[in-house]
Amino acid sequence: MKVSDFLNADLSTPCYVYDQAIILDVLDKINALTSRVDIKTLYSIKAANNIRLLEFIRPYVSGFSCSSLYELMLADEILEQGQSRHLTTPIYKDYEWQTIQTLANYVSINSISQWQRFSKNNLISAGLRINPEQSFARDIRYDPCRVDSKLGVNRNQLVQAFNDSMVSVDKIEGIHLHNNCESTDFGQLQQSVNIVLTILDEFSIKPRWLNLGGGYLFHNSNCDELITIVNEIRTRFDVDIFIEPGKAIVGHAGYIVSRVVDIINGENKKIAILDTTINHLPEVFEYQYRPNILNSQNDNGHEYRLAGCSCLSGDLFGDYYFAEPLNRGDVVVFNSVGAYMQVKANWFNGINMPATYLTDENKHFELIMQYDYADFRKR
């Protein structure tokens, strides 16, 4: 989309915008893949969980992947009969377990101690999350296989569990694997799957399902590798195979539309204060993430430090160049921010949450969420 598309829509800023056409393009690519090989797609709703957005995605996937009881309850509300509800979380709580059993179709259990407490039931299919101890994430904070990771059971822990009769092989119905982030290299998944298959052979585990997790982006050039991986698994096991993309589906489809509300002449730079804040895109502060801006340039033109409107001195998006000088009221559009913005946004300083719009191929903007003082007060 172009900046003019947002200007012509007369949007209330700041706001989130999700582009249906971009989401549909990714879903079409994934479904073209699943038409070539028997693999089921789960949308990981932790990436973006607006109800209207979930309703749009629902017809194109086999189900939703959830990370908490509340996400599971939301999935159950949105999904239709026959679609899968998967739950993967580091811990299951005793007082939530009864509800989980009534809503989930599959659960992945994260540790041996949790397995002992929660795998003994007949209502849902229980699997074990495996840590293949293969690190690919560039940032250790995203790495599920970091040293002393809390996520998944590694080989040594499995050896101990079997030696101590803490796990029964025939009770493990599924295996869950997730150890990457924003990767386009399915060769990394191949390495991880090879290790998992070796572990399954070593302990004579014969699962009914295998969840390959998320963390991979889908491009036309890399899908053949995933097909090879799935076919290799099928030569060894008769299993249902799942993938659970989240950011891959919504990441490039999301925008934050903001306006310049003030310009300050600093000692070295001009500072443009926006009507949005890093409250609305917390990963800027959490991970020193530099978002893309639709109407900026690389390294020439008029330079501005873009600042958010909260009282936090570090509420800064970064330094950007623009072809023309910025003025009060000008629109600044952050693009490719569709994952982890709305779900992580917060009310710091009592600044209102952005409205949310969903736009179609005709550039029609549908308002799907809006907040007011009552929402702030209730929180």
Q: Tens of pLDDT along 163-190?
A: 888 788 878 999 999 999 888 889 999 9
- pLDDT(221) > 60: no
Long-range contacts of 149-154 (CB under 8 A, 24+ apart): 150/90, 150/110, 151/90, 151/110, 151/178, 152/110, 152/176, 152/177, 152/178, 152/179, 153/110, 153/111, 153/112, 153/128, 153/129, 154/130
Domain 36-245 bears CATH identifier 3.90.110.10: no
Q: Tens of pLDDT along 256-289?
A: 999 999 999 999 999 999 999 999 999 999 888 8
pTM of the model: 0.94
| Average pLDDT over every residue of 347-356 | 97
Name the one residue in this structure whose structure tokens are 């001195």. 313
Enumerate the CATH 2.40.37.10 domain ranges in the chain, comma separated.
3-17+251-378
Distance from C-alpha of 201 to C-alpha of 283, rounded to nearest angstrom: 40
The answer to whether residues 308 and 277 touch, using CB atoms and an 8 Å cutoff, is: yes
What pLDDT does 219 receive?
67
For residue 163, count other CB atoms closer than 10 A to its CB: 8
Q: Tens of pLDDT along 2-41?
A: 888 888 888 999 999 999 999 999 999 999 888 899 999 9
From its phi and psi, is residue 215 left (phi > 0), alpha (psi between -120 and 50) or beta?
left
Average pLDDT, the chain: 93
What pLDDT does 65 receive?
98
How is domain 3-17+251-378 classified at the architecture level of CATH?
A: Beta Barrel (2.40)
What pLDDT does 220 receive?
60
* Cα separation values, 362 from 6, 9, 129, 258, 359, Å: 13, 11, 43, 22, 8
What pLDDT does 38 receive?
92
Name the one residue in this structure whose structure tokens are 């005709």. 362
Enumerate the CATH 3.20.20.10 domain ranges in the chain, comma separated.
36-245
What pLDDT does 251 receive?
95
